[in-house]
Structure 1
Amino acid sequence: MENNQILTDLKGKTAIVTGGTKGIGRAIANELAQAGATVIVSARNQPEGDNSHHFIAADLTNPADVAELEQEIKQKFGGVDILINNVGGLTTPPGGFSALTDEHWESELQLNLLAATRLDRIFLPGMIAKKSGVVIHISSVAAKQPLWNLNMAYAVSKAALNSYSKSLATELASKGVRVLTVAPGATKTPPMEKFVSDYAQSSNITVEEAFKQLLAQTGGIPMGRMAEPEEVASLVHYLVSPAAKYLTGTTYAIDGGSLPVV
């Protein structure tokens, strides 16, 4: 019987992690590298401090940047075995439907849905040709539990990503390529900390009170804390490894039990 270390070993694999310089993306990049993978990270800005991964600056909402990223990766690496579509975020204002313009909706869809579809179109043909590869879309529990006053457009864009990911998984299952979705809940990242801080400032309350109010709107977290980015990365590592070779087409929530659904 193969041991767990062999089943989760990624030696000889090349992975790209979008939005891979901070938060969940950085944790995933580090985890995959520790498992033996050659890791490429992309982001709009150069990472701060030491970075042992190959970095490519790219705004994935800009097709021209995506084309340059494609050219560099194919020249230097030939292609990738693992694609982590992690780039995304909440960029629109709170306040419900009346606060959201066409530009807000377009921006959220570009960042949280279309950036992933662009990368998939680039790298899937190579995976299909090898009959091997894994694509992970990083979504959010907000896709199933939207908060109208805080994240309407973001939640809708992530729900669209979930649906796209499921459809893509069905299309590619017989071609040797697995597609999975990971949906984190509240996770201790710089964007989350800024979101809570901004909410506290706009509501004229303390950060601690703001966090409690936000948790109350979602029904709370049974585990009583936010996830660490490394915990999300651990799940992603398992899903891209040979240990998960029969898994495809599923969305995995990692939320400390917060989603109030079966």
Structure 2
Amino acid sequence: MVSPGNTVFAGVKAVFFDFMGTCLDWHSSIVKALPQRIPHASRAELALAWRQAFFDDIHTRFEKGLPSEDIDAAHARLLAHLLGSDPRFSAIELDEQEQAAVVQGWHHMSAWPDVAEGLQRLRSRYEVLVLANGTTRLQLDLAGSSGLGFDLLLSSQLLGNTKPDPKIYLKALDLVRVKPNESVMVAAHAYDSRAAKAVGMRTVYIQRTTEDPQESMDRIRAEVDVFIDGRDATAPDGLGKVASLLGA
């Protein structure tokens, strides 16, 4: 058994990661995928609004007990809605082919600079897995485009539930035969950390510049086992700190 650098992680066998936002810089990737004729500031604002609309949609569907939707279909629907009804983006015109191409942009992303080395260190000591909403195809494409290596990719499509439903965390743990208190959930989303903690998992929150703009960081600090400021993804206190705390 590995002796972690922080006793809160004693007995841990597996480390689960959220993918987009936590490990991947989706914002820069989507800004780049949008047509370059659109001013950079408008592309940046649209990307942020699109991502927030996706999160709002997930939570609305979850609260209403609706089944999850294919992530590409959801992204396409929400983009069309933003372009057609949000006055902030009334000057942006994308034809059907361009919209389809931008939706595929969510399949090709770069990792935050602190992630690859931290993952490599963790994988030398622990099972390291993705547990994220989306399709298996999306996760395969993201792992390939980012160059990140995991022991297993677990999608909401594969597990039949969507985060933050507690059943998705419990099913993932059951599949790999790990108890909740033998696992860590690493995420840059408070709803993810809260749901994981509620089923008994240890929690690490990494603050990223693109995530949780409406959340109180003070509240999150009080909720999770470890809070890491990863806004400067080139600093050593990003994912490398998670590896250090886990003795890797």
- Structure scoring higher RCO (CA < 8 A, sep ≥ 6) equals 2
| Both structures adopt the same fold (TM-score exceeding 0.5) | no
TM-score by length of 2: 0.44
